[in-house]
Amino acid sequence: MVEGSMTQGAGQGPEVERAATLRDFRVPAYVNETGPYAHGTQPAETVRPPEEAPAVPAAPAAPGTPGTPGAPGEGYPAAYTPTERDLPVIKRGDTLQAAVDPVSAPTRQSATRPGPLYVVGDVHGYLDQLVAALQEKGLVDSAGQWCAGTARLWFLGDFTDRGPDGIGVIDLVMRLSAEAAAAGGYCKALMGNHELLLLGAKRFGDTPVNSGAGTATFQAAWLLNGGQKSDMDRLQDHHLQWMARLDAVEAVDGYLLVHSDTTSYLDYGASIEEVNDTVRETLTRNDANEVWDLFRKFTKRFSFRDEGGADAVRSLLDTYGGTRIVHGHSPIPYLLGEVGSEDGEESAGPVVEGPHVYADGLAIAMDGGVTMAGKLLVQQLPLGN
């Protein structure tokens, strides 16, 4: 079994020596069901910001473009335009004075004030539940269109596998990224271990890799951990490019955002920029063993849960900044020791009401366990808003 992980590959194709395997979390019996969003909006239908729109806050990078949220130019508000009055009016007797409504005139403070911050836990192909959760928070309307203005939305990774429509989820996130940018907000995403798994399965298939516990393949690991044939059949180049460009770590409003509750990020750099660059460079080199090692490390979990967990969180905060870490990956029922039934028997399932705060209050877990009849979490930060 892969060290520190709950994910393991088993062989398919030519007979080779395989490592012992263990299923990560159960795959629900209804994973092959499809919902009304099965055919997600294609990129050609995405809403693009108008080229000559009135002054709006500067839009962040397009979906899948690496980098952190853009900041306005030094000394200027995000909505600054050289055609807008930016200098005092000198009162002279020979000058006609035009009245300016102080209410309608935008102020420097209001133009640069960021919108509310939201984070989304693991989705794993549950498109209907995602749309419902976003609607409940007022982020999308009844048609699934962005309606939150300047709000900022971060997905913490793991869009596919286990659930019925992972590609539909990716299409939705890509579309919301364009719509949010046009409205002056943003919708961005982090890379989860299942994005690495899907990329590896598509790129390397049954190519044997050294798993550290024998021989494994990405294809076998993907199938073992809920890979859906319908997702692979609909996977296109623009999906692959988008996933490969996702950041692994980000810092927003004092929160350090990551997918996995592991300290393995420290292996890839001493700064957020260095980690993200190293991950992208690894994927660009396209070496199966290197990508497997990246996947293996990002699959580790529970580093913040047990004795010494708070110190593990502090090691990341001290390195990358922030006062709290926000992560997905490990379902809250597992962090609490409340696992759902895996034998197919009827059960009420784990009760998840919201994020789980632990590790001396330094960690916020956001995976509500939607794959085990838990809850898909969308949460505004700070908690309590």
Q: Which residues pair with 152 in a beta bridge?
A: 117, 186
Burial bucket for residue 41 (CB in 10 Å: 0-12, 13-18, 19+): middle
Q: What is the pLDDT of residue 98?
A: 37
Q: pLDDT for 273-290, tens place per residue?
A: 999 999 999 999 999 999
Distance CA 296, CA 299 (A): 5
Burial 198-220 (b: 16+ CB within 10 A, else e): bbbbbebeeebbebebbbbbbbb
Strand 186-189 to 255-258 pairing: unpaired
Q: pLDDT at residue 61 above 70?
A: no
Find the helix or strand (DSSP H, E) in which 358 lies.
strand 356-358
Find the helix or strand (DSSP H, E) in which 364 lies.
strand 363-365
Q: Which pLDDT band holds residue 350 (cuts at 50, 70, 90)?
A: confident
Give the number of other CB atoms < 10 A from CB of residue 258: 28
Residue type present at position 100: V
Average pLDDT over residues 356-377: 96
**78 vs 176 pLDDT, higher one:** 176
In which residue are the tokens 């209907």 written?
128
Query: Across all residues in the chain, what is the average pLDDT?
Result: 79
Q: pLDDT for 140-175, tens place per residue?
A: 999 999 999 999 999 999 999 999 999 999 999 999
**372 vs 15 pLDDT, higher one:** 372
Q: Which of 110-114, 208-212, 302-306 has the lowest mean pLDDT?
A: 110-114
Q: Which residues contact 152 (CB under 8 A, 6 or more apart)?
A: 69, 114, 115, 116, 117, 118, 185, 186, 188, 252
**244 vs 74 pLDDT, higher one:** 244
Q: Which pLDDT band holds residue 101 (cuts at 50, 70, 90)?
A: very low
